[in-house]
Copies of this chain bind each other. A is one copy, B any other.
Amino acid sequence: MSKPPGASIPVGPSRRAVPEGDDRERLICPDCGFIQYDNPKIVVGSVALWHDRILLCRRAIEPRAGFWTLPAGYMELNETTVDGAKREAWEEARAKIEIEALLAVYNIPRLSQVQMFYRARLLTDEIAAGPESREVALFAWDEIPWRELAFPSVRWALGHHREIGAAREFAPRGNPPGETGARL
């Protein structure tokens, strides 16, 4: 953005230092002393089924535009994880879903992300691409485009959903052994 002539450029939280009473470096604004605490972000999503078919969305945006993903995204302020997963299904696939159980909690420490996927059911089979999706579709297990999945955790969540089957009381799955989500 253009700046009025002579205006100083605000630097914002740009100095790395350990605040008093803390034990690690934070970004601090050298002008006003504001401390920026950055923390991991939560991604909420769902493996949502209509009968035996799984809802996937082909991404219209980067990263991984053109690849298939589960409806999922960053949790917003003042919502719950369940409401966030429902909102993402609506935003990305215009899908109305009912949450059944917490399927998995994945950690991607490189990205400072915690991803929470729910097992869910579509309330109707009316789906449509939202603004971040190129298309949306319902896939039977043997139709899933495995080589065109957007992220490792999409593959994990699909596998864990299959593994859990119809179990009603189960512990949510975590990252597969040795997998950190660092690459596909």
A83 to B107 CA separation, bound complex (whole angstroms)? 10
Chain A interfacial residues counted at CB < 8 A? 47
Residues from chain B with Cβ under 8 Å of A24 in the complex: 76
Q: Which of B23, B34, B109 touches A12 (beta carbons < 8 Å)?
A: B34
Q: How many chain copies does the complex carry? A: 2
Main secondary structure, interface of A, reads loop
A3 to B33 CA separation, bound complex (whole angstroms)? 11
Query: CB-CB contacts of A74-113 with B at 8 A, as 1s and 0s?
Result: 1111111111000000010000000001100101011010
Q: Which of B10, B21, B74, B75 touches A32 (beta carbons < 8 Å)?
A: B10
Segment at the interface with B among A49-57, A146-154, A164-172: A164-172
Q: List A residues 1-46 near B (Cβ within 8 Å).
A: 1, 3, 7-12, 21, 23-24, 29, 31-34, 37-42
Does A145 count as interface, using CB distance less than 8 angstroms? no
CB within 8 Å of B: which residues of A?
Answer: 1, 3, 7-12, 21, 23-24, 29, 31-34, 37-42, 74-83, 91, 101-102, 105, 107, 109-110, 112, 114, 116, 131, 169-172
Identify 26 residue pairs between A and B in the complex whose beta-carbon atoms are under 8 Å apart, listed by A's number: A1-B32, A1-B33, A7-B8, A8-B8, A8-B10, A9-B31, A10-B29, A10-B31, A12-B12, A12-B29, A12-B32, A12-B34, A37-B74, A39-B74, A39-B75, A40-B42, A40-B76, A40-B79, A77-B112, A78-B109, A78-B110, A81-B105, A83-B109, A102-B171, A171-B171, A171-B172
